[in-house]
Structure formats: C-alpha cells, structure tokens
Amino acid sequence: MKNYDLIIVGAGPAGIFAALETVASGKGLKILLIEKGRDIEKRKCPAGIRNVSCTVCPDCSLLSGWGGAGAFSDGKLSLSADVGGNLSRYIDNTSLDDLIKYTDGIYIKYGAPHEVYGADEEKISKLRNIAAENGLTLIPSRVRHIGTDRCPELLKRIKADLNSKVDIIFSKDVRTILFEGEKVAGITTEDGDRYYSDFVIIAPGREGSLWLEEQAKGMGLSLLRNPVDIGVRVELPASVLEHLTEIAYEPKLIFYSKKFNDRVRTFCVNPYGEVVKEYLKGVWTVNGHSYSNKKTANTNFALLVSTSFTEPFDEPHLYGRSVAKLANLLGNGILLQRLGDLQAGRRSTRARIKKGSVKPTLADATPGDLSFALPYRYISNILEMLKAMDKIAPGVNGRNTLLYGVEVKFYSRQLKLDRNLETEIKGLFAIGDGAGVSRGLIQASASGVIAAREILRRRVKSS
C-alpha cells in the first residue's frame, strides 16, 4: 500500500501538464504519475521495424506512453479559445484565453518554435470573405506548429524536469478507481497493486476513453452523449492549398451540405506532410503528419462529417468502429481511391493510382472503392464539400486528388464536471481528450492546469 498526495493516471499532455503545474507550486506534494504505455525512448512501432501485425501489441506505442498520442502527432498548438476543445463550457472566455497563453508559454519554454501562423488579421479577413462568398465558413485560429519530428525531443525535456520530483511508473495498467461513498480513495492496477490518495486526476487520452466510460458507469457517474466524426483524408499537391496554408497553416473550413444539411469540416491540415495509419483496439484508421525539417510534395487534410444519434441508440463509438472495420475488411487496412474514380462510380486500381499525378505518401494503402465502406450520406456530403473548396482553391476537386478511408474521430463520452473539471465523486478529476474535455494539445494541457490548480488550492486551504 502506497499513499500519495496526488495520483495522475495517464502521461499524455493533460496528465503531464497537471504534474508540471503541481510541481511548479513548490508545495512539495508527493505525486504518482502512472502510464500503461512506455517511456518516450522506448515507444517504437514494431510494424515500422519489421513485417509484423499490429495485433501483436496489446497497447499501440504510437498512441500510448509518455506524451500520449500527441507525441507522434504533427504538434499543432491551436491558440484560439474556440478551437481544439470544450473548455469554454467550464470557464469563461477571458480565463480560457489567459490559460491558453500560459500553457503556450510552457511549450515555448521546452522548445516549441516562436513562429505563429494565422496572426495576420488582414489576410485572414480576406480569406474569410472569399470562403463566405462560396458557402464556406473559415474559423480564424492562430497556430504554432511544433512538427512531428520535434515533439519527442520537447517531451524528453519535460520528463527530465519531472524525473526527480514525481514518481513515474510505466507499463502499468490501471484497473479500477477506488472510491468510498462520494469520495475518491485511489486506484488499483491489473497486477493487484493499490495506491491511495484523496486526489486522483484521470487523463486516459482517446485510447483510454472506453475504459473511463466503463469506470464512470461503475461509479454511477452522469455521462453526456457525444457525436462521432467520420470521413476521409484528402491528399493533393501542396501547391493547391499553398495560398491558404502559408497564411493560416491549418485553414479550418466548415460547410453545410445542401442535400442533407450536415456539417462537414476540414481537420488536421498537414502542409507538405504525409498520410499515416493508426491502429486502435483492432481498427485501422487514417491520420496525417507534417514535419519541421522534411517536406513532401503533398498536403493532406481530413474531411469529417459530424454524426449525431437519437434515442434509443447511444453508442457512437460502436458505429464509428463498424464503419472503420468495414473499410479494413475491404482493403485489408486502409482504402485508397482517386476522386475521379469515385465520381465515375468505379474502384481505383494500382495502375490508375500510378497513372495519376498525385503520388500517395501512404504506400501500403489498398486501391479500392470507398462507396462500399462509407454510407451514401457521407459520400454525398464529402463530394459537395470538395466542390465548394475547389472554388477557393482550384484543384481540390481534381480527378487525381486522393481519398483515404476511413478517418474516424472517436470523441469521448463526457462526464458531468464542474468548473474545476471535478466529477460527482469528490477529489476525482477528469481531463484531456479521453474525458471529452479537449480535442487537441493546448486545451488538453490547459485542462491539466485547471485540475492541478484546484487541488493545490484545497491543499493550501487544509494546511
């Protein structure tokens, strides 16, 4: 039996920043940070080294471990309050802006670049007007881009600062959250160890969101319904979007389809980047990266359709997984189709892909037909969005544009939280993407700061 002043479950951005904030207070709290994945230096993907199946890994090293899924993301810090999460539900906009600036400053301290995209208000205003004239809404957002290659080094610097001040345990899965009545008591692990504390911060990341949902149901906590976003990743010549990305880096465009009036949006734009695949609990999905010192000839971005469900269905995760599994079944992984082939109602072949002018950066994607995996509604919405985008960026709707499928964003079920991100169990806090609080690095990190500050306030008050 071990006692701590604070236990943090999960070493992604949310958990790390909760630890940083607690340590920075100088209060000398005894802190445990427990993570089911590996340390950053040991996070290697076996499939990238030798020809093995992802099924051999119980936990994906690209998603779990020090830094969470953000460790190998392309490292975008969205510096606008209305992008990257739901913290505005809990704190006012002024406080959120201040918190984002504070969190951003910590990233800069540990090596994030000083350059910020989207800061030229005059140019952004012009882009927004052009988008509006063509049925698109541009969401202004200042972005600091760390780069997939620089993220691990930044995370190593943070860990070096925390090593002597926090007990960090890797490769240890938390089984249950302990509570007595309406108060948290600690955690138990899969190997039977017990750790006790009056304060527990849960930061499981998206990979651990289903675990948190199960824990919440077991404790009788209130859960809110969340949508799931389903779509494709688009890849095209970088020059097509260059006039947008050189100003905004990640132009966030929203469109409402005429046929279904569904919300379609761009997400995770990667100028001169590459398309990658992710494996999560038996499902392949697609994503994108971009680097600080390496460029490809292509830019990629996601086109996502927001899907909400009505009663009695209440399992958006299962629906998203079923669509992804169908694409995996058809393509033995990730499906790839030229836009021209989709428009012509025919499958893509390797010969047709090779004949096209856009070379795929995800070489092992399987040419096929996305219309066999994505429901008609999604295909219709995506095709409408591409036509609209083509008006502000000619070439987007070109027949050689590549579509990878499917991309699914499993937004976590949200727990009922107060303004300090505390659950209905006293002393138990839920933060980050896995708790449905955030959808990106900055707001995930900021959520850790919010929880840590409230715990510090109570510790000072009780001492």
Q: Give the phi and the psi of residue 354 in degrees, each rounded to 5.
A: -65, -35
Residues contacting residue 151 through CB under 8 Å, at least 6 positions apart: 67, 70, 71, 72, 73, 75
What CATH class does 2-111+146-224+415-462 carry?
Answer: alpha beta
How confident is the model over 279-301, as a mean pLDDT? Answer: 90
What are the Cα distances from residue 401, in Å, to 19, 229, 299, 374? 44, 21, 11, 18
Specify whether the backbone of 329 is left (phi greater than 0), alpha (psi in -120 to 50) or beta: alpha
Q: What dihedral do alpha carbons 454, 459, 461, 463 form, nearest 10°?
A: -170
pLDDT per position as a tens digit, 438-461: 989 999 999 999 999 999 999 877
Judged by DSSP in three states, 236 sits in strand
pLDDT per position as a tens digit, 162-220: 999 999 999 999 999 999 999 999 999 999 999 999 999 999 998 888 899 899 999 99
pLDDT per position as a tens digit, 132-165: 999 999 998 899 999 888 999 999 999 999 999 9
pLDDT per position as a tens digit, 300-344: 999 999 877 767 776 777 888 899 999 999 999 999 999 999 999
Position 291 confidence tier, pLDDT thresholds 50, 70, 90: confident
Indicate if the pLDDT at residue 351 is higher than 80.
yes
- CA gyration radius, the chain: 22
pLDDT per position as a tens digit, 391-405: 999 999 999 999 999
Indicate if the pLDDT at residue 55 is higher than 60.
no
Q: Supply the DSSP symbol for 360.
A: -
Q: How is the chain split into domains, by residue range?
A: 2-111+146-224+415-462, 228-409
- Is pLDDT larger for residue 434 or for residue 370? 370
> If you average pLDDT over every residue of the chain, what do you get?
92
CB count within 10 Å of CB 167 equals 15
Rounded to whole angstroms, the Cα distance separating 387 from 396 reads 8
Which of 336, 332, 374, 373 has the alpha carbon at shortest distance from 353? Answer: 336
